[in-house]
């Protein structure tokens, strides 16, 4: 613990690195997941293909996926981000589909009756109503990305995993504890923060 407080500056630097890796991956993942999710919610065939493929990727252990990517994309942040985006896809797409399916068909019909176009229905009715469930998916995805992001230190992506990596390699308990404690704090804080956000947004639709 002493190490953590003595080297707070350095730990914070890793902390921000980890945070930026997490949110950049999450952002990229969302750009893919929302359109894929919408398509999957509308077309049954596409849904089973998408969940099948993403399910297999999700099942592959992170270190194994990274191992397979390294020969092509190298030891760097890009590889880490690709892996993290791939893992988040499964969680996010599943939640987007569940969110859209949970919308009352009457609401959609009412919108249709009011003369809204397909596009308007998606952007003005379905997406806003889907937000709370999607947010739950984002929470789970964020926590997973933070967790898998620790492994990314092994392939040179930096972040808090680096402290654990160095702690293990140099048998330096102080670094090890500093790394594990700060990563646990980050993960738990992210979980609580998103839960609070869900509670804030939730009642409006209820």
In the bound state with other proteins, the residue whose beta carbon lies nearer, of 114 and 184, is 184
In the bound state with other proteins, the residue whose beta carbon lies nearer, of 66 and 122, is 66
Nearest in space to 28 (alpha carbons), one of 97, 94, 81, 98: 81
Judged by DSSP in three states, 1 sits in coil
Residues lying near other proteins in the complex (CB under 8 A): 56, 59-68, 70-71, 75, 143, 146-148, 150-151, 154-155, 161, 164, 167-168, 173, 176-177, 179-180, 183-184, 187-188, 191
Q: What is the closest distance, in whole angstroms, from the C-beta atom of residue 67 to other proteins in the complex?
A: 4
Cα 137 from Cα 154, distance rounded (Å): 27
In the bound state with other proteins, the residue whose beta carbon lies nearer, of 12 and 57, is 57
Cα 53 from Cα 123, distance rounded (Å): 27
In the bound state with other proteins, the residue whose beta carbon lies nearer, of 59 and 119, is 59
Q: What is the DSSP string of 18-47?
A: HHHHHHHHHHHHHHHHHHHHHHHHH-HHHH
Q: What is the closest distance, in whole angstroms, from the C-beta atom of residue 114 to other proteins in the complex?
A: 40
Q: What is the closest distance, in whole angstroms, from the C-beta atom of residue 1 to other proteins in the complex?
A: 12
Q: What is the closest distance, in whole angstroms, from the C-beta atom of residue 206 to other proteins in the complex?
A: 22
Tallying the residues shown for the chain, one arrives at: 206
In angstroms, how far is CA 61 from the centroid of its own chain?
16
In the bound state with other proteins, the residue whose beta carbon lies nearer, of 23 and 43, is 23
Q: What is the closest distance, in whole angstroms, from the C-beta atom of residue 147 to other proteins in the complex?
A: 4
**Alpha helix (H) residue ranges in 43-160:** 44-59, 62-73, 77-101, 105-113, 118-120, 127-151
């Amino acid at each position: 613990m002493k190490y953590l407080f003595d080297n707070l500056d350095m730990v914070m630097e890793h902390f921000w690195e980890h945070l930026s890796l997490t949110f950049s991956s999450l952002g990229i993942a969302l750009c893919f997941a929302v359109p894929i999710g919408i398509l999957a919610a509308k077309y049954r065939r596409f849904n089973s293909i998408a969940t099948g493929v993403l399910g297999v990727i999700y099942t592959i252990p992170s270190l194994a996926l990274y191992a397979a990517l390294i020969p092509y994309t190298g030891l760097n942040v890009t590889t880490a981000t690709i892996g993290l985006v791939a893992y988040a896809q499964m969680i996010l797409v599943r939640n987007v589909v569940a969110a859209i399916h949970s919308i009352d068909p009457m609401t959609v019909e009412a919108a249709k009756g009011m003369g809204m176009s397909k596009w308007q229905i998606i952007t003005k009715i379905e997406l806003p109503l889907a937000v709370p469930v999607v947010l739950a998916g984002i929470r789970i995805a964020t926590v997973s990305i933070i967790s898998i992001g620790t492994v990314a230190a092994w392939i040179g992506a930096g972040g808090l995993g680096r402290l654990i990596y160095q702690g293990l390699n140099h048998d330096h308990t102080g670094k090890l504890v500093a790394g594990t404690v700060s990563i646990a704090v980050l993960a738990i804080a992210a979980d609580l923060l998103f839960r609070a956000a869900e509670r804030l947004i939730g009642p409006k639709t209820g």
